[in-house]
Structure 1
Amino acid sequence: MPVRLSVVIPAYDEAGSLGATLASLAEQQTASEVEVIVVDNASTDATAAVAARYGARVLVEPRRGVCAARQCGTLAARGEIVVSTDADTRFLPGWLQRIEDGFVDDVVAVAGPCRYADAPWWARIFPPLYFAALAARYRLTGRVGYITATNVAFRRADFPGYDTSLTQGGDEVDFLRRLRRRGRVVWDAGNPVSTSSRRMNQGLVHTVVVSYGYHYALNLAVNRVAARPLLGAAPAIREQDTARIQRRRRRWRVGTAAAIGALVLVRRHASRRRAPSAPRITGPLRDVR
């Protein structure tokens, strides 16, 4: 049977999470032939060994960068449809079949939302609202406003290539712009994946300002104008880093609470010292009326 679907997974030091992702893919219910490609993006751990143990086709891309890794995997894919996802993601049993069913007529790509596993409170609210807004816009206009590279598939014959000079966003915002030139992109709001929230564990402000503001939006704009990676890729966050970040945040919260408590005590003590004392009355009281 010819390969119908090729799932491409870029992986850098993902030995800790890749096994669960590949096990989730093995449970997919589809009648088509599927190949799973793991692109080892210069890992320093046992990522390649884990991929081989689960029967994945392992490629090596020595150039660091997710766009270079996805490009390597896509060019080597044998399937008619290439599915892009990540090494820290889980899938519903019918995920691949639903993707394949979406390729009708002039459709060149099918994209869907993602959910964040074990997310902080704000990531359980704002990303779902964002994806709901994308779905509403698609229903009204037929236009996909954004794709996440952890849940998008496209026809290999219509592959426009990734801009490998972009370290962030080239596999999403820029890639969507290129796909639109080839044909119709479909948004399937009912076919989500579940991915790690590890990059969000540094807090709301850090995620908005640093992760998305600097490493994503500014990085994408500057590198696209310069046509080369002037700004480097965001630092990798892995499970061991998540534990370290959580410990640091707990220490920060304890230290902040202690500082606030000390400030309250100091202010209370100072206000008592400044309060005027009641006048002292000596001698017998007299009626002065």
Structure 2
Amino acid sequence: MSDPATTVVVCAYTERRWDDLVAGLSALRAQTVPPGEIVLVIDHNPELERRATAAFDDVLVVPNAGRRGLSGARNTAIELAKGEVIAFLDDDAEPEPDWLEQLLAGYRDPRVLAVGGAARPVWPGHERSPLLPARGAGTGELDWVVGCTYTGQPTTDTPVRNLMGCNMSFRREAFELAGLFTEDLGRVGRTPLGCEETELCIRLHQASPGSVVLFRPGAVVRHRVTPDRLTWSYLRRRGWGEGVSKALVSRSVGADAALSTERGYLQRVIPAAAVRELSRLLRGRGSGLVGLLALVLVVGSTAVGYARGKLSRERLKAVAPKLVHGPIHVATVDLNRMPAQLPVPARAVGHYRAAQVLVRDGDRTLDVVLLPVRRGVVRLDLLGFGTSAPRPRPDFERPLISVVVPTAHRKAQAVASVRAALAAGYERLEILVVDNLPPGPDGDPELREQVERLGARYLVEPRKGVSIARNTGARASSGEFVAFVDENIRVEPGWFDAVAEEFATDPGVGCVTAMVLPASLETDAEVLFERLKGYSQHVRRQRLDRETVREDPLYPLSLARYGPGSCTTWRRSVFDGLGGYDPLLGAGTPAMAGEDLDLFVRLARAGGTVVYTPHAVARHTHRADWLELREQMRGYGVGLTAMLLLSVLRRPVGVFSILRRIPRGMARLASRTPELPLSDRAARSRLRQLRRDERSGMLSGPLALARAWRRYRFGARSGHR
């Protein structure tokens, strides 16, 4: 039986391991059974990517197309790999000449879906550290801390629960059965989390109970151990990270599967090691005390990390809108071409339980519905929408619309936003990208090239703040109407036509806001944000002027009725008459947010009109990370009170109106928690935390506004205003 064609994947993230990377790739080229292809994935490090592309002509060098971290990098390679077997090697590991041959030999049994090998440490100075105790010159009980084979692992070919990440391989079929690596797990840079390969192997066993994951100790790599991993601090952090990771895995696949190997390790291997080190201590050998303390520290830190992970609910099951748990598939269907059933793609982990479906009738929005997913499909024939006659396209002269896209930290998303605008099917567009975080006075050459290649204009605004960037773009534009589209928003086809129609049919409209739906609802953070702060909760067109809004007893604390400010179009004369966005507010300033609400308040006080149209649909990329979501919620709180204080400073008499409405506004804020099953304590805990973050931000708003004013005034006196 011939060996299957193979792809070897190496993932790298830092130039500090360049020499190790070169040595590892050289060793791959010298294998007794050469790999069919080598894929090097660079994890969000453009400089390293350019250097590797220039240095390795025979290697496919690609950037990580997923989330930052080892799991995302590995998934990127899996999508590109051509081999029947995909092997993974760390960027600081060097394989023995027969490494690949030994791995492939394990696949001669058709039941084997994954094969891994041993990792031998290469110590600094070639001497084992006393922090990692061992019996003689062999493996040590704590060698897993530095990513190497440890005492307790098999010494002969043996089926195991999971493989080691630095030395493993899988049949392509394994990923078809179990899915890809979970991007919520795994190392990100130097953060000592992991267990993504453990979770994948467990899923593989569950998906194919008769399959075998094989450990072959004869397939050896040499894993370099750096001095920074041989410290008490690293042992503590690594143990804690392992415990947290194991807790997350146990939530995903069950505690019995997640901890089956660890129970035997703690019951047999660790007690034997402790007895040995205690015996050394009693014989007067100082290394015994060091080894005993190391065992206690690592095991204790792991236990504490596991307990912390079990209590933490941030990365576990989320509460979706309307009491739906877990990730939600996002889709759009057209009534005129709507099938009876909508197939839902499989996920890397688990399944979708629901789908958020935008129902359109050509260029008109009919509804946004949440439907259950059963057996991989959504029943669309239950929606009850009848067929409709084609609606003639409105006949009016399309005006020139200038599109301003400010960008700072997510410049790749800004380029995607420009592409989406160009693909929206509106001929008279002027697009301006304002770089608000330029690396130098001339901006970012790479971003400039990408933007200008698409036919858009590239502007540089070094003064921090999205409000300043938007105002800069507006001043440089020439359209009668100015659309402000944030970098993390992509408009859909027909967006500009729907917006232009509103201005054409109602000359009194000063601003048009749009329906903004999530681009994805995959992670807990995305689902929670959509439930709490979803930008578009209704599908009816609304015309809002000062009188209709003031009917709300919470005005001006009910400004969400206007629609999302991150995707708006303004009549230029109205925007200029209001003076544009206030530079003291918005992302990039100490106030963090509030600039769009402030502009709506000024428009209402000036007697202006806003129209919200659900027929202009855009997609927003929500924060996928829990910590980022918490910071975003805090920022909303900061921006709200900063905006209200600024409003009072401009018009002091308005303070009495605001004070009367604060109690009712706070009550509405507190009651905004969705109805949840009483047993879902985790969901309630997460929602309460987000609400606390928002309230905490509200307390910081006045001080943040003062800091923003000082920074802006200082910049003005320095000539940088």
TM > 0.5: yes
Q: What are the Cα deviations for residues 150-173 of structure 1, in whole angstroms up to 9, with x where unaligned?
A: 211111111122111223445311
After alignment, is 72-81 or 47-56 more displaced? 47-56
Name the CA distance, whole Å, in 1 between partners of 2:491 and 2:416.
10
Name the CA distance, whole Å, in 1 between partners of 2:635 and 2:463.
22
- Give the match for residue 202 of structure 1: 627
Q: What are the Cα deviations for residues 57-110 of structure 1, in whole angstroms up to 9, with x where unaligned?
A: 111111110000001111111000100111121111000110000102211111
Q: What are the Cα deviations for residues 109-162 of structure 1, in whole angstroms up to 9, with x where unaligned?
A: 11123222234322233334x632696986898447334232111111111221
Equivalent residue for 1:124, pick from 496, 513, 530 = 530
After alignment, is 41-50 or 92-101 more displaced? 41-50
- Give the match for residue 601 of structure 2: 177
After superposition, the Cα gap between the structure-2 partners of 1:139 and 1:40, relative to the gap in structure 1 and judged at 3 Å, is: closer
- Give the match for residue 421 of structure 2: 25
Q: Per-residue deviation at 1:207?
A: 4.2
Name the CA distance, whole Å, in 2 between partners of 1:188 and 1:57.
28
Name the CA distance, whole Å, in 1 between partners of 2:625 and 2:433.
24
**Aligned partner letter, 1:191:** A
After superposition, the Cα gap between the structure-2 partners of 1:163 and 1:47, relative to the gap in structure 1 and judged at 3 Å, is: same
CA contact (8 A) 1:200 1:207 kept: no
1:230 aligns with 2:630: no
CA contact (8 A) 1:99 1:110 kept: yes
- Give the match for residue 285 of structure 1: none
Q: Count the aligned residue pairs.
A: 229
What SS does structure 1 have at the residue aligned with 2:403?
A: strand
CA contact (8 A) 1:108 1:154 kept: yes
After superposition, the Cα gap between the structure-2 partners of 1:2 and 1:19, relative to the gap in structure 1 and judged at 3 Å, is: same
After superposition, the Cα gap between the structure-2 partners of 1:207 and 1:40, relative to the gap in structure 1 and judged at 3 Å, is: closer
- Give the match for residue 411 of structure 2: 15
Equivalent residue for 1:100, pick from 500, 508, 515 = 500
After superposition, the Cα gap between the structure-2 partners of 1:78 and 1:211, relative to the gap in structure 1 and judged at 3 Å, is: same
Report the TM-score, using the length of structure 1 for normalisation: 0.67
Q: Per-residue deviation at 1:20?
A: 1.4
Name the CA distance, whole Å, in 1 between partners of 2:539 and 2:466.
24
- Give the match for residue 277 of structure 1: none
CA contact (8 A) 1:134 1:146 kept: no
- Give the match for residue 189 of structure 1: 614
Equivalent residue for 1:156, pick from 572, 579, 583 = 572
What SS does structure 2 have at the residue aligned with 1:154?
A: strand
After superposition, the Cα gap between the structure-2 partners of 1:123 and 1:179, relative to the gap in structure 1 and judged at 3 Å, is: same
After superposition, the Cα gap between the structure-2 partners of 1:99 and 1:3, relative to the gap in structure 1 and judged at 3 Å, is: closer
After superposition, the Cα gap between the structure-2 partners of 1:34 and 1:81, relative to the gap in structure 1 and judged at 3 Å, is: same
After superposition, the Cα gap between the structure-2 partners of 1:201 and 1:184, relative to the gap in structure 1 and judged at 3 Å, is: same
- Give the match for residue 48 of structure 1: 448
Gaps of 5+ in 2: 1-396, 550-558, 650-701, 710-721
CA contact (8 A) 1:6 1:37 kept: yes
Name the CA distance, whole Å, in 2 between partners of 1:41 and 1:205.
24
Q: Per-residue deviation at 1:174?
A: 0.6
After superposition, the Cα gap between the structure-2 partners of 1:51 and 1:102, relative to the gap in structure 1 and judged at 3 Å, is: same
What SS does structure 1 have at the residue aligned with 2:616?
A: coil
1:87 aligns with 2:487: yes
- Give the match for residue 269 of structure 1: none
Q: What are the Cα deviations for residues 13-41 of structure 1, in whole angstroms up to 9, with x where unaligned?
A: 3332122111111111225x210011111
What SS does structure 1 have at the residue aligned with 2:537?
A: helix
CA contact (8 A) 1:223 1:231 kept: no
CA contact (8 A) 2:593 2:635 kept: no
Q: Per-residue deviation at 1:6?
A: 0.3
1:111 aligns with 2:533: no
**Aligned partner letter, 1:123:** F
What SS does structure 1 have at the residue aligned with 2:620?
A: strand
1:146 aligns with 2:562: yes
Name the CA distance, whole Å, in 1 between partners of 2:572 and 2:537.
28
After superposition, the Cα gap between the structure-2 partners of 1:23 and 1:156, relative to the gap in structure 1 and judged at 3 Å, is: same
What SS does structure 2 have at the residue aligned with 1:102?
A: helix
CA contact (8 A) 1:40 1:48 kept: no
What SS does structure 1 have at the residue aligned with 2:533?
A: helix
Name the CA distance, whole Å, in 1 between partners of 2:410 and 2:630.
26
**Aligned partner letter, 1:61:** E
Percent of residue pairs bearing the same amino acid type = 26
Structure having greater relative contact order (Cα 8 Å, sep ≥ 6): 1
What SS does structure 1 have at the residue aligned with 2:497?
A: helix
After superposition, the Cα gap between the structure-2 partners of 1:29 and 1:138, relative to the gap in structure 1 and judged at 3 Å, is: same
1:65 aligns with 2:457: no
Name the CA distance, whole Å, in 2 between partners of 1:4 and 1:173.
26
Report the TM-score, using the length of structure 2 for normalisation: 0.29
**Aligned partner letter, 2:536:** F
Name the CA distance, whole Å, in 2 between partners of 1:2 and 1:133.
27
What SS does structure 2 have at the residue aligned with 1:64?
A: coil
